[in-house]
Structure 1
Amino acid sequence: MLHLHTFLLYIHIIAGALAMVLFVIPMVARKGSLNHRKYGRFYTYTMYILAVSALVMSTMVLVAPTYFKGQLIAQSASPENTLATVRMFWTLLLFLSLLTFTSIHHANRVLQTKADRAPLRQWHYVAMPLLLIAVALVLLVQGVMMSQHALVSPYLHFIFAALGIVNGYQMLSYIFAKRVVGNRWIIEHLSSMCGSGIAVYTAFFAFGARHALTHIGQWQLLFWMMPGVLGGVAIYFYSKKYQHLKTRRGA
């Protein structure tokens, strides 16, 4: 099992590096162009690999933390606190994996179904944003526990809990809205793609590059929040742009 975990880790790292590069190309390319479609597919496949590998690794560690992190726990001065920290850390990774998978899958399905939202109302599809909200609530509870026991900083848990609840709610709102305007599916697709980019870049700064950023202390939060802020600006820009195009065409 350790070999499987190590193999998945290498696959995850390679996919993450590719995804960070591939995300930029379809976002800056003209929408609907050959490059946008081609590199968008490459990015989607890479993100599926990234998310699934992370989901499996996170589940493995959460199910058997003493097996996969036994040496770290045994060498700690406070094994119980270290075990609790491991569980909280990997719950956060599980959430990011779920956020990545849900965002990229929603973006892909919206693109396939366009204005027809009936296929999105099947129970197994609706279960994804509901599960995202549920895990976000777990993060919220863990954040409160962390602030009470001063195990580690709870800020990431609070930030991502809010992000997960908002994302899950927005997906459900789109799926079950009685009526959506003509090109709302384009905005939904681009918003979810941006959401997946936020997840992969945030994961890189918060975990992949955490050792390089340790020396700046609490300023790390700036790098952890930066992808969300920039992604939020991009989502706002695309929403206004395509809403404006619809309004002009309607006029």
Structure 2
Amino acid sequence: MRRRQLMPWLFNIILVVHVIAGAVALTSCWGSVLTRKGGPAHRRWGKAFTTSIYAASFMALGMGLLSLRWPLAMHPQLTDETLYRGLFGWMMIYLALLTMSMTRYGLQMVANKCNHAANRHWSMVALQIAVLATGTNCFVQGLMLNQPLMIGVSIIGFGTTATYLWYMFKPAPGARDYIPEHLKAMVATGIAAYTAFLSVGLIELFPEHAFNPIIWVLPTVVGVGIIGYFLRTLPGRARAAAKATQSTT
């Protein structure tokens, strides 16, 4: 009983760290989007973004584990233990791993741009398997709890795992194929950060709208627009970079 009473204190400490890291991620992601890709400023903003995302994700993993074990102790204002063990336990654990996966994948695409085989490191594959396993569990729990939100977010993980593994095991990608892979993964991480911000904020301010699908979809719509813009302009950027290189040689 005493341990159960102490758990909310630990949860609140983790939550504070999670919120601070999330706030840094929410602001620094725009620095990465708006600065010249590959330039010093872009790398600095990117480092701040990925570091804060990792911190926020690890804190989310901790909150998910605590909510899984003591769902009502973590959320005393709630009453349905089974429902919130699923939403704040199983789903949060899955989303934390999914965000870590997207972030690591995006970083490794740049780090391994000259060594594609390194993308198949066991830790990269293991992380994709973990996302697939927790996503499948989230999907099953969503069916059992009749929660479309859990079902929907699990499908996102199935899609990212399939596309990431496909590229990781692609025999001979093009010399610049890593660029759209990096872009898509990092913007997807930003989508995850803003989705979490909107949903958690609504839980506190407007609980009746916390699981409104429109709120969860909005960051995705914006993020997909950003991805589409950069993919459409990528060929022109590549030609401009090639001309700049030729003019200096």
Give the TM-score normalised by structure 1: 0.84
- Identical positions, percent: 25
Name the counterpart of 1:111.
Answer: 110
- CA distance 1:216–1:70, change in 2 (3 Å): closer
* Partners of 2:114 and 2:224 in 1: CA distance: 24
Query: Offset of 1:191 from its aligned partner?
Result: 0.8
Aligned to 2:153: 160
| Equivalence for 2:40 | 34
Match of 1:44 among 50, 63, 66: 50
**Equivalent residue for 2:164, pick from 144, 163, 171:** 171
Note if 1:197 corresponds to 2:202.
Answer: no
Residue 108 of structure 1 aligns with an amino acid whose one-letter code is L
Q: 1:59 to 1:173 in 2, by over 3 A?
A: same
Task: Give the aligned partner of residue 99 of structure 2.
Answer: 100
Question: Which one-letter code corresponds to 2:26 in the other structure?
Answer: M
Counterpart code for 1:100: T
What is the distance in 2 between the residues matched to 1:217 and 1:106?
Answer: 29
Number of residue pairs aligned between Structure 1 and Structure 2 = 235
Query: Aligned equivalents of 2:163 and 2:47: distance in 1?
Result: 24
1:141 aligns with 2:133: no
Residues in 1 aligned to 2:17 and 2:188: alpha-carbon distance in whole angstroms:
22
Shift of residue 217 of structure 1? 8.3
Contact 1:96/1:203 (<8 A) preserved: no
| Residue 48 of structure 1, CA deviation | 1.1
Shift in alpha-carbon separation, 1:123–1:94, aligned structure 2, 3 A = same
- Match for 2:24: what amino acid? L
Task: For 1:141, give the aligned amino acid.
Answer: V
Counterpart position of 1:151: none
Q: What displacement does 1:233 show?
A: 2.3
2-structure distance, mates of 1:70, 1:215: 16
User: Residue type matched to 1:178 in 2?
Assistant: P
Query: Is it true that 1:54 corresponds to 2:60 in the alignment?
Result: yes
> What amino acid does structure 1 have at the position aligned with 2:214?
L
Counterpart of 1:242 in structure 2 is 234
Residues 136 and 161 in structure 1, CA contact (< 8 A), matched pair in contact too: yes
Take 2:235 and 2:91, find their aligned partners in 1: how far apart are those partners?
34
Is it true that 1:6 corresponds to 2:24 in the alignment? no
Unaligned runs of 5+ in 2: 1-5, 243-249
Work out which of the residue numbers 65, 69, 82 in structure 1 matches 2:70.
Answer: 65
TM-score, reference length from structure 2? 0.85
Take 1:216 and 1:196, find their aligned partners in 2: how far apart are those partners? 23
Q: Which runs of 5+ in 1 are unaligned?
A: 77-81, 148-153
